[in-house]
Amino acid sequence: MHITTAQLFTDARTQNGYLPTPVGDDQLKALYDLLKWAPTSANSSPARFQFVRSAAAKDKLAACVAPANKSKVMEAPVTAIIGMDMAFFEKLPKLFPHTDARAWFVGKPDFIASTALRNSSLQGAYLIMAARALGLGCGPMSGFDAAALDAAFWAGTTVKTNFICTLGHGNPDKLMPRSPRLNFDEACQLV
C-alpha cells in the first residue's frame, strides 16, 4: 500500500457528508489493526471504540448529539465513538509487562483520568490517520452530550466518551472551503 502525505494531510479534508457507499466489517477491522500499533504512554491503549452503523444505533446516537451534528451521524455509513476506559491500567500487565505499571495508577484517579484522556485522544487521531490511509474520509466532532452518550453506549462499563468521528467515503459536494491554518511562526518556537 502506497500512502502519501497528501492523502494523510494536505489533500485530506474534514468530511461534512458522505456517499452511500457502505463501510464493511473488514474495513473497520483493518482500520483498528493499523491504529493499534501507534504509540501511547506505557502502551496503555485506553481507547475503546464503538462503530455505530445500524439504524437503531444511529437513532440512539443522534439523540445525544447537537442539532447541527444529527444529519452528519445519520448520513455517515459509520460513526466511531472513541471512548476512554477509566480502568485501562488493569490491562497493563499484558500491554506493558516490563514492570508493574498497573501500580502507577491504582488509587490515583486524577492520573488515571489525565492518562486516559491524553492517550485515547492520541488513539482517536490514529483512527483518523488509519482511516485516511485506507481511503476513508473522517469527520471528527465534539458537539454531543457526553453523559447521554455514556448512558446510551457505555452503560455498565468503565468507559467514558472522549469524542466521535464519522467515517465513510466523503461526498466532495458537501466539503466546506478549506480553512486557513496557523503558520510556523504563529504556532511554533525554536528554543
- Tens digits of residue pLDDT in 130-150: 999 999 999 999 999 999 999
Kindly state whether residue 82 falls inside one of the protein's structural domains: yes
pLDDT averaged over every residue in the chain: 97
Distance from C-alpha of 83 to C-alpha of 128, rounded to nearest angstrom: 14
pTM of the predicted protein model: 0.96
Closest CA to 82 of 22, 27, 154, 156: 154
Kindly state whether residue 183 falls inside one of the protein's structural domains: no
Kindly state whether residue 10 falls inside one of the protein's structural domains: yes
Query: What single-letter amino acid sits at 160?
Result: K
Distance from C-alpha of 8 to C-alpha of 138, rounded to nearest angstrom: 11
Quick one: pLDDT at residue 107? Answer: 98
| Neighbouring-strand partners of residue 24 | none
| Domain boundaries, position 55 | 5-174
- Tens digits of residue pLDDT in 4-29: 999 999 999 999 999 999 999 999 99
Other C-beta atoms closer than 10 Å to the C-beta of 47 total: 26
Kindly state whether residue 137 falls inside one of the protein's structural domains: yes
Q: Which DSSP state fits 18? A: B
Q: If 0-12 CB within 10 Å is exposed, 13-18 middle and 19+ buried, where does residue 127 land?
A: buried
Structurally, how many domains does the chain consist of? Answer: 1
| Residue 1 pLDDT grade (very low, low, confident, very high; cuts 50, 70, 90) | confident
Q: What is the CATH number of the domain that holds 53?
A: 3.40.109.10
Kindly state whether residue 71 falls inside one of the protein's structural domains: yes
- Tens digits of residue pLDDT in 28-81: 999 999 999 999 999 999 999 999 999 999 999 999 999 999 999 999 999 999
Kindly state whether residue 102 falls inside one of the protein's structural domains: yes
Query: What single-letter amino acid sits at 37?
Result: W
Kindly state whether residue 96 falls inside one of the protein's structural domains: yes
Distance from C-alpha of 104 to C-alpha of 163, rounded to nearest angstrom: 26
Closest CA to 47 of 182, 173, 160, 165: 160
Kindly state whether residue 34 falls inside one of the protein's structural domains: yes
Distance from C-alpha of 134 to C-alpha of 138, rounded to nearest angstrom: 11
